[in-house]
Every structure is written in structure tokens, then in C-alpha cells.
Amino acid sequence: MAEAPILETRGITVRFGGHVAVKDVSLGIEPGTVTGLIGPNGAGKTTLFNTITGLQRPTAGKVFLDGRDITSLPPYKRARMGMARTFQRLELFVSLSVRDNLRVAGDIHNANGRNKIDLEEEVDRLLELTGLADIASTDVSDVPTGRARVVEVARALMTSPRVLLLDEPASGQTEQETEAFAALLRDLADSGLAICLVEHDIPLVMKICSRIHVLDYGAVLASGVPDEIKNDPAVINAYIGTEKEAV
Ligand SMILES: Nc1ncnc2c1ncn2[C@@H]1O[C@H](COP(=O)(O)OP(=O)(O)OP(=O)(O)O)[C@@H](O)[C@H]1O
């Protein structure tokens, strides 16, 4: 039997003036899985992430973590409860080294969190795990975008999250980097993490997600396993058929 979702949205709607960016979206993310969230530009994926993480207040609907209604909690409280994310536009400390970016996140976690980590040990473990050890001392400003995205994931992992939301993490990665990244996400999910992946790299999504939700004009157009999504005429028509990288 499938595990109960650790993260749930119920009937989330977000309006910006007269524009409905997210429309009545209900979905769940289970521990130990990678869940894909795909759809055309402007479909509402980032807005939904912002609502889940507390950066955007929904017009209607609720967000639950561990069955607890967290809709009115600020982002830092959600982070302390085990939610971490990365951003479409990288949000790293560019004048710091890769190692120091991880240290800062670990410091903040230790100052606030209940499950304190051994900082240096965790930094070393995550640099190894994410394949960043060779550039640990490099300033992020000198790190190419593809690898900087992995730095952002590693930094998010410093908070020992149980839910990880990734906004276009493969954008800017080479084919080889994406292959290693896919293996990393699978390993993280295998260790129990609940991952939600917003990504335009359809082959990557199809390869690593156990379940996929397709957003179109803010609403869920389809939900299912990769084979169902790949062959859904509405999805092909609205999105996959328009993607150069289509499977
Ligand atoms: N702060 C805002 N104010 C007004 N409109 C917004 C705001 N943020 C997003 N939107 C609009 O809401 C819609 C959804 O945007 P969103 O960025 O969530 O889409 P997306 O699916 O993440 O797109 P992409 O794949 O291009 O990142 C778009 O029409 C966008 O212009």
C-alpha cells in the first residue's frame, strides 16, 4: 500500500487581481518518491511552490504537512518543520565558496532546529554525495550554472529536510550532469525523502518520477504514472507535443 502523503495541497487557488494563476489544485507528495509537476510556461508551477513554502498566500485552499494545516505559517516555520526548496533563479551566496554556502545553511539550521547536525561532518558528507567535493573551495561566482544548481540542492539538504521542492534544477546542466543528478534524486528518494520536481526536461521527469501532475492554465490537467502522462492526448496537445525534448 502506498504511504500517506507527507505534504498535501487541498483546493489551492491563487489569484493575482483578475488572473487565476493556480486553480483548485489538490495533490499529495509521499515520502520516498519523486513527484513531477510539469506544464507550459505560466501554468502556475512556481506559484504553487510559493504557496506550499509560504511565500505566497493562497486565495483559497489549504496546505498540510504531516496532516497539520500549515497554510498560515511563515516560510521559516515550514523550513523548521522539514521543508526545503531550490529556486528557478539561483539564490546562492555567490561571493562565498561552495563549502561556505553549505556551512551557512547548516549554521542557521543548528541555531533554529531541533535535530542539530555535526556541521563539518554533514558538509563533507553532502559534498561527496552530490559530487561537489572537487569544487568545495571554489567561489560560487566561478561555478557554472549546471553545477551551481546542485550546490543549491546540497545547501537545501543541509537542513535535513523531509520534503524537498526543486524548481527547474536541471536547467543549465549538461547531459552528463543531468544523468548524475537523476541518480542523486533517486538515491535521496530511496533514503525516504519526499521530492517534488518542477522541470521542463521531460525525459528526466519521465525517468525518475513515480507520479506526475500536469498543470495547464493553473489547473491540474492530468495526474498519473509516467506512461499514462506520456500517452495522454490532452497532455500531448497542451504541453509535451510542444516541447523540443519530448519523449
Ligand atoms: N506576483 C505575481 N503577480 C501577478 N501575476 C503573477 C505573479 N506571479 C506569477 N504570476 C502569473 O501567474 C501565472 C503563473 O506563473 P508561474 O510563474 O507560477 O508559472 P510557471 O508554471 O512556474 O511558469 P514557468 O514554467 O515559466 O516557470 C503566470 O501567468 C504569471 O505571469
What CATH number did the domain enclosing 36 receive? 3.40.50.300
Cα→Cα distances 122→119, 130, 160, Å: 5, 12, 10
Looking at the structure, do residues 201 and 98 belong to the same domain, yes or no?
no
Q: DSSP state, 5?
A: P
Ligand 1 pocket residue status of 16, Cβ below 6 Å: yes
Ligand 1 pocket residue status of 42, Cβ below 6 Å: yes
- Which atom of ligand 1 has the smallest separation from the CA of 43? 21
- Which atom of ligand 1 has the smallest separation from the CA of 56? 1
Looking at the structure, do residues 138 and 181 belong to the same domain, yes or no?
no
**Domain boundary residue among 124, 144, 160?**
160
Looking at the structure, do residues 94 and 137 belong to the same domain, yes or no?
yes
Looking at the structure, do residues 169 and 139 belong to the same domain, yes or no?
no
Q: DSSP state, 41?
A: T
Q: What is the pLDDT of residue 244?
A: 47
Ligand 1 pocket residue status of 238, Cβ below 6 Å: no
Ligand 1 pocket residue status of 14, Cβ below 6 Å: no
Looking at the structure, do residues 229 and 168 belong to the same domain, yes or no?
yes
Q: What is the pLDDT of residue 88?
A: 82
In this prediction, residue 61 has a pLDDT band, given cuts at 50, 70 and 90, of: very high
Looking at the structure, do residues 118 and 224 belong to the same domain, yes or no?
no
**Residue 124 reports pLDDT greater than 60:** yes
Rounded percentage of the chain residues whose pLDDT exceeds 90: 84
Look up the ipTM and state it.
0.96
In this prediction, residue 232 has a pLDDT band, given cuts at 50, 70 and 90, of: very high
Ligand 1 pocket residue status of 45, Cβ below 6 Å: yes
**Phi and psi at residue 104, in whole multiples of 5°?**
-60, -45
In this prediction, residue 165 has a pLDDT band, given cuts at 50, 70 and 90, of: very high
Residue 124, C-beta contacts closer than 8 angstroms, at least 6 positions apart:
133
Please name the residue whose Cα sits nearest to atom 26 of ligand 1.
41
Ligand 1 pocket residue status of 21, Cβ below 6 Å: yes
Looking at the structure, do residues 40 and 148 belong to the same domain, yes or no?
no
Share the mean pLDDT of the chain.
93
Ligand 1 pocket residue status of 41, Cβ below 6 Å: yes
Looking at the structure, do residues 34 and 96 belong to the same domain, yes or no?
no
Q: What is the pLDDT of residue 246?
A: 47
Q: Give the structural domain span for 139.
A: 90-160
Cα→Cα distances 205→21, 160, 179, 199, 226, Å: 23, 24, 12, 7, 8
**Residue 1 reports pLDDT greater than 60:** no
Please name the residue whose Cα sits nearest to atom 7 of ligand 1.
16
Query: For the chain, what is the domain count?
Result: 2
Looking at the structure, do residues 49 and 2 belong to the same domain, yes or no?
yes
In this prediction, residue 91 has a pLDDT band, given cuts at 50, 70 and 90, of: confident
Ligand 1 pocket residue status of 217, Cβ below 6 Å: no
**Residue 131 reports pLDDT greater than 70:** yes
**Domain boundary residue among 120, 143, 160?**
160
If we measure between CA atoms, which residue out of 59, 63, 2, 61 comes closest to residue 35?
Answer: 2
Please name the residue whose Cα sits nearest to atom 3 of ligand 1.
16
Looking at the structure, do residues 166 and 245 belong to the same domain, yes or no?
yes
**Domain boundary residue among 141, 160, 179?**
160
Cβ atoms of 8 and 68 within 8 Å: the answer is no
Looking at the structure, do residues 4 and 16 belong to the same domain, yes or no?
yes
